Amino acid sequence: MPENGSTLAVFYENWQNYQNLLIKAIAPLTPEQLTQRADPSLRSIDIILRHIIGGRARWFHQMMGVGDEEFISMGGWDRRDAPERSAAELVHGLEKTWSVMYEAISSWTEEDWHITYQNDPGDEPETFTRQWIIWHLIEHDIHHGGEVSLTLGMHGLQAPDL
């Protein structure tokens, strides 16, 4: 990661703290609790968490070529035919994806942050930088972590203690 005291280091440290709070909230959940939804038309806690994990793995592997076989397989955790996961599996998925992302980010030089990737033709934006991808994953984690927090609270369960 960037040097301690830098603005980037603060962002990454707090992103990791956010993840740890999310893990602490979901680790004790039963399979039944993981099926809770804020509304019947919305995703369950399990599906939202699998979406966070899947998104991380897809962006890092499909766009940037990062990750081992286990990490790559997590990119499909949120597909329609994907199985539900236990709290322990979800915790492992969050920890594994974080570990792979952290290792990659820690190894990047200033120049590496400006590497660009092409999106599918016709999609916007057409070009992504590593900077944009990381920001997108931060906002994605926060957005969907908020959904998990709301759903937990609606069902009388302990939400992340922010």
For the chain, the C-alpha Rg in angstroms (whole number) is 16
CB atoms within 10 A of CB 58: 17
What is the reported pLDDT for 77? 98
Here the tokens at position 115 are: 């590497």
What is the reported pLDDT for 49? 98
H or E stretch at 88 = helix 87-107
Choices 1.10.8.870, 1.20.120.450, 3.40.50.300, 3.40.640.10: CATH for 22-154: 1.20.120.450
Here the tokens at position 110 are: 């200033």
Are 95 and 23 contacting, i.e. CB atoms less than 8 angstroms apart?
yes
Nearest partner of 157 among 45, 9, 2, judged by Cα: 45
What is the reported pLDDT for 161? 87
Residues of the chain with pLDDT under 70: 1-5, 125
Enter the pTM of the model.
0.93
